Copies of this chain bind each other. A is one copy, B any other.
C-alpha cells in the first residue's frame, strides 16, 4: 500500500464529525416545521396550494435537516417506481452499450431510472429475470434478449407492466415491438456477391446459441445461396475474438480464400487479422462482412463492410414507445428500424 493512500482510522469522517443525515422522514420534517406531513408532502410535490410563507418555512427545515424523500415509500404509495427494467444478455457488447446509452438519454429526460436485468445468455437466468422484473414493480420493461420468447414478454406485460420488446414480434395489448428490418438488405448483399464473377467459398460463421439476429441471418444466407444454386459453408466459431482468431490462423493454413459473414465486428476483425497474419490479402483473397457494425468497423484496418443499425436510436425509441404505451397512447405497436449496408475495405467493389 503506497504511503499516501494509507488511511488512519482516526482520521475518518464519522458520526461525530461530518453530520450524519440518518433518514429523516417526512414526519420529522413536519414536526420541526410545525405543520402536518400532508403539508410537507404538498410542498415537495408542488401540489395543492400552500402559503408561500409556510412553504418557505418547510423548505428551510428540509434543507436544514437534509431531508430526502424516500423513493421506495413513494413508489409504494403511488404505485409508480419511476424505474424501467432493462433485460439484456450482457452489458459487454458495444452495440448493447450503444443501445443502453440511447435509453439512458431519454429515460433521464423523462425522469426514469434504468435497472439492469442481465441474463448472461442463459435460459434459466432469463426466466429468473422475468420473475425479478415482475417483482420489481418497475413502471415498464424493455427486453432485448434472445432467450426470451413471446410468452415471456406477454407474461411480464400481463402483470400490468408495459413492455417493449426489441427484435421480436409479440402480439399483446400491453407490448410494443421494435423490429430490425435487414432481410432484403442482407439478401441483396449476398445476391450481388454471388452475381459478380465470384469464385470464393461462401462461408457463414455460425455461433452456437447466439440469438435471433444471427439465426435469421443464417437462414437468409442459406436461402439466398440455394436460390442461386451455389454451394455454401457453415462454420462453427466461438463468440470471442481470441478464439476465433486462433481458429482462423489454423483455417488459413489449408484454405486461402473465402467470403465470410461474421456476427459482429470483433469476430470479423479476427478473420481479417488472421488472414493478414497468414499472408493473405483482404479483400483480394479474403472478404469479410460484419452483421452488426459498430464504430469499430470503421476504426480497424482494413475497415469492415457491415450491416448497420443505429442502436442508440433504438434505445431512445424504446423508451419513447414505453412511455407512450404506459400512457395508453402508443399509436403504432410495431416500429420497424431499417438496417443499412455499408461497403468498406473488407470486401471488393
Contacts and interface: CB of A to CB of B under 8 A. Distances in A.
A250 interface: no
Given A12-B172, A134-B68, A301-B273, A91 B97 contact: yes
The main secondary structure of chain A at its interface with chain B is: mixed
Interface in A70-100: 70-73, 75-76, 81, 83, 90-94, 97-98, 100
Contact of A301 (B93, B120, B132, B276): B276
Given A2-B336, A94-B94, A266-B299, A14 B116 contact: no
Nearest to A272: B301
A19 interface: yes
Contact of A154 (B2, B13, B125): B13
B101 A92 contact: yes
A101 B101 CA distance: 15
A18 B154 contact: yes
Interface residues of A, number: 79
A1 B296 CA distance: 31
A113 B113 contact: no
A269 interface: yes
Contacts of A227: none
A135 B73 CA distance: 10
Contact of A159 (B1, B68, B241, B334): B68
Contacts of A276: 301
B115 A158 contact: no
Interface string A106-131: 00100001111110100001000001
Given A101-B91, A179-B5, A14 B173 contact: yes
A226 B18 CA distance: 40
A17 to B, nearest CB: 9
Interface in A1-58: 1-2, 5-7, 11-15, 18-23
Interface in A299-330: 299-301
A13 B273 contact: no
A206 interface: no
Contacts of A280: none
Given A92-B97, A94-B94, A241-B299, A68 B131 contact: yes
A18 B172 contact: yes
Nearest to A295: B241
A171 interface: yes
A336 B3 CA distance: 12
16 contacts: A5-B169, A5-B334, A7-B334, A11-B171, A13-B171, A23-B159, A68-B131, A68-B134, A70-B135, A71-B136, A72-B81, A83-B115, A108-B120, A113-B132, A296-B296, A300-B300
Given A13-B173, A83-B115, 15 more contacts: A11-B171, A18-B172, A21-B159, A68-B131, A68-B135, A70-B135, A71-B135, A72-B76, A72-B136, A91-B101, A94-B97, A113-B117, A116-B116, A266-B299, A296-B299
